[in-house]
Amino acid sequence: MDIKYFQRNCIRKGKNRKNVGDPMNVLKQMLQKAFLVLSTPSKFFEKIRNEKEGLIEYLVLISLVFSILFAALFTVHEIFIGVGRFFIIGLIMAFASGFIVTLGIVFLETLIIHFFALIFRCKRGYNNTAKAVVYGNTPTFLFSWIPFVTIIATIYCWAITVIGISKLHNVSIKKAIFVVVPISIVIIYLSILVMGYDSILGPFASEILHLS
């Protein structure tokens, strides 16, 4: 795939009214945005600097993608260890918890990072912080469900979020690092206390290590 193609077509000023509300078009735009933010985050945030719509749709859709992938991993895990009588209930809970917890974490992370952004005099508003956090979490949405890849996805998530804060709030990378990284480290520390290996190595990682 040609990156320049996505740079030309991913984000447009105005909307094609014929495609408004078209689920396939919305999904296509989400995938294009995900590709661009992962491949060239700096250029991506420059392009969406004045974006007013689409953030909520992106968050909901990519959270659904994560939930589907997490539910699929849960299914593989259950098949591997033996499907129990409560498999269907567990599958539904895996999907629902993946979706709800993801939205909750992103919302909380945005509030906390914006609090630190205000401390460091990032004055471009809450919406720009939300853009940096939501789009910055793309690696975790798409890859953190894979055991042992979570830590890599998390580090790249931090990097993209730092770039997003820098570009959208028009501050230096150094200042953006002070806004993002400290609270991210605290979140990881708390996650380890609650979830152990799984929080940094991915779902079911502790069981895989135990089996090995």
pLDDT > 70 in the chain, percent: 74
Segment 182-202, tens digit of pLDDT: 877 777 776 666 555 554 555
User: What is the mean pLDDT of each successive set of 10 residues along the chain, which is 212 residues long?
Assistant: 51 47 75 93 92 88 86 76 71 81 87 92 91 94 79 89 95 93 76 56 48 46
- Spell out the long-range contacts of 54-59 with Cβ–Cβ below 8 A and sequence spacing 24 or more: 54/29, 55/127, 55/130, 55/131, 55/134, 57/26, 57/30, 58/30, 58/33, 58/134, 58/135, 59/103, 59/106, 59/134
- Where are the chain's structural domains? 3-211
pLDDT digits (tens, 9 = 90+) for 40-62: 999 999 999 888 888 998 999 98
